[in-house]
Amino acid sequence: MNTVTLLDQDFELLIPAVEIEQAVSRIAQQINRDLKGKDVVFIGILNGAFMFAAELLKQIDLTCQISFLKLESYSGTSSTGMVTSLIGLGVDISNCTVVVLEDIVDTGLTIANIVKQLERHKTSELKIATLLFKPEAYKEKVKLDYVGIEIPNKFIVGFGLDYNGFGRNLKEIYVIKK
């Protein structure tokens, strides 16, 4: 599919499935190599990172735990600037190496907020892996340890990312048509 329509918006293909798969595999290999022998807990950020987390974790060969956190900073196509913690951790992450799995880092507000909250848990190490990154939009200083693909500062959907709740199931990534 080269274009998709979700609600009132048309989107066109930006990143084909093979490129996403390659980016996910690259991150998995780096994590397997870097975190070998460590006590690792992966934390996927819902809803957007569910697909990235599933694809990535199938390629992780570490002995690890997996949990999810739910936060929200988006409504429609522009950031509302509000971040709220909605679903708790349910796993003891103290003295563990935590790897946060994000679908996308845009302004960085969400990831900075997550890091602030997780730092209270006295983890031994905190790493961030994001499938997508919008460098032009990034306003924070938090170091992104694993970045899959850098994209332009445009609204995208697919592979977990949504437009008002739709498009998360798309296996490729689409950019908004203006």
Tell me how far, at minimum, the Cβ of 63 lies from ligand IMP, in Å.
Answer: 28
Q: Would residue 39 show up in a list of annotated catalytic residues for this protein? A: no
Size of the site for ligand IMP (CB under 6 A): 18
Put the strands of the sheet holding 3-6 in their side by side order: 3-6, 9-15, 173-176, 156-157
Q: Which of the following is catalytic: 34, 92, 106, 162?
A: 106
Q: Which 97-116 residues touch ligand IMP, going by CB under 6 A?
A: 102-111
Tell me how far, at minimum, the Cβ of 139 lies from ligand IMP, in Å.
Answer: 8
Q: Which 101-120 residues touch Mg ion, going by CB under 5 A?
A: 103
Tell me how far, at minimum, the Cβ of 45 lies from Mg ion, in Å.
Answer: 5
Q: Which 32-91 residues touch ligand IMP, going by CB under 6 A?
A: 48, 73-74, 79
Q: Which of 48, 148, 158, 167 binds Mg ion (CB under 5 A)?
A: 48
Residues in a beta bridge with 161: 158
Distance from C-alpha of 80 to C-alpha of 78, rounded to nearest angstrom: 6
Which single residue is written with the structure tokens 């009132």?
8
Q: Find out whether 27 and 127 touch, Cβ atoms under 8 Å.
A: no
- Burial 15-47, CB ≥16 within 10 A → b, else e: beeeebeebbeebbeebeeebeeebbbbbbbbb
Residues lying near ligand IMP in the complex (CB under 6 A)? 48, 73-74, 79, 102-111, 155-157, 161
Residues lying near Mg ion in the complex (CB under 5 A)? 48, 103
